[in-house]
Amino acid sequence: MPRLSCIIPVVGNTQALETTLVSVLERRPEDCEIIVVLNEHYADPYGLKGEVRFVDAPGAGMAACATMGIQVSRAPIVHVLAAGMEVADDWTDSALPHFADPEVASVIPLIRDSANPERLLAAGVQYRRGGGRRVATNLPDRDSSSQSEALGPTIDAAFYRKSALEVLGDGLPINLGDQLADVDLALGLQYAGYRTVLESESVVFAEELVGSGRSGFRSGLYAERLFLRNLPAFGWLAEFAAHPFIVAGELVRSLLRVATLTQLAGRLTAWFSLSDYRLHHHLLAVARETVVRETAARESAEPAVIAKLPELATSDERPV
């Protein structure tokens, strides 16, 4: 079984795929399988089927392609890497050891500008109240104890513990568009009780990130879905009270844009799927209970192991 599955979701840009494949194949670590999920036909002109697993996902978006790759992967750690990304030497070496901590579910690599490596494009994603997403572009001060404010990695480049994803549905959500899927997953993992680590020594390069998203109806629909799906993480009363004012403020700021009314229509439409949100809230609760049980089991096992160590030292048994 491989130790790492590198999943490259491809939405239409096969030239970008080849850029990423060359970079990954030249630098991949041992025990790493490479899975490419394509939403359109790719002829494989370089005959890479012996080294790369190609999976077809006709018409799928990036989040759906990434999820399909996660579901067919075999390694305990999965690495989502958007087509067009290029990786630095040994980019996985500093990221993978963090997963020795069972509480860590995701690791954030840095994404730097390929034309100007000093420029940081992304250091994870943040949630913006009202159902929004913001890309983090600041690093914690090395000389202080400050932590990264990012909730999790971006869809462009991310390391995940596969078992943690399985608890929340085995991949990224596919009904929030490609731009909100990563922050929704990050919120779910955080609510369940998992941790995310920012690893500044793990670096990938990009010319640009996945697009900023749709405007109009779908923008409103996906934003409201993100808000409603994650109400347990925010606190129901406080968020419900503030939400109308947050949305109203966004609409006022965009009154002169044609998309304003369609965005509002999208937000209102999202409320017709309340049963879906209840199911997701139940999934979040189950995930949280699962993590609590696993943590308690580890903590109860550790004293027993420690207590046995002196006994092992004076017997014929030796700890391995």
Model confidence over 260-282: pLDDT tens digits? 778 888 888 999 999 999 999 99
Q: What is the mean pLDDT of the chain?
A: 86
| pLDDT score at 56 | 93
| pLDDT score at 260 | 76
Q: Which residue has the higher pLDDT, 260 or 45?
A: 45
| pLDDT score at 25 | 94
| pLDDT score at 144 | 45
Going by C-alpha positions, the residue among 8, 21, 22, 208 that lies closest to residue 116 is 208
Token pair of 281 as six digits: 């809230």
pLDDT at residue 71 greater than cutoff 60:
yes
Mention every residue, 6+ apart, whose C-beta is less than 8 A from residue 120.
110, 111, 112, 113, 137, 138, 139
> What is the DSSP secondary-structure string of 20-34?
HHHHHHHHPPSSEEE
120 neighbors 112 (Cβ within 8 angstroms)? yes
203 neighbors 175 (Cβ within 8 angstroms)? no
176 neighbors 184 (Cβ within 8 angstroms)? yes
pLDDT level of residue 148 (50, 70, 90 thresholds): confident
pLDDT level of residue 147 (50, 70, 90 thresholds): low
How far apart, in Å, do the first and last CA atoms of the chain sit?
23
Mean pLDDT score, 84-91: 95
Lowest-confidence segment of 69-83, 105-119, 251-265, 284-298 by average pLDDT: 251-265
Lowest-confidence segment of 9-23, 142-156, 199-213 by average pLDDT: 142-156
pLDDT at residue 142 greater than cutoff 70:
no
Mean pLDDT score, 89-109: 96
pLDDT at residue 253 greater than cutoff 80:
no
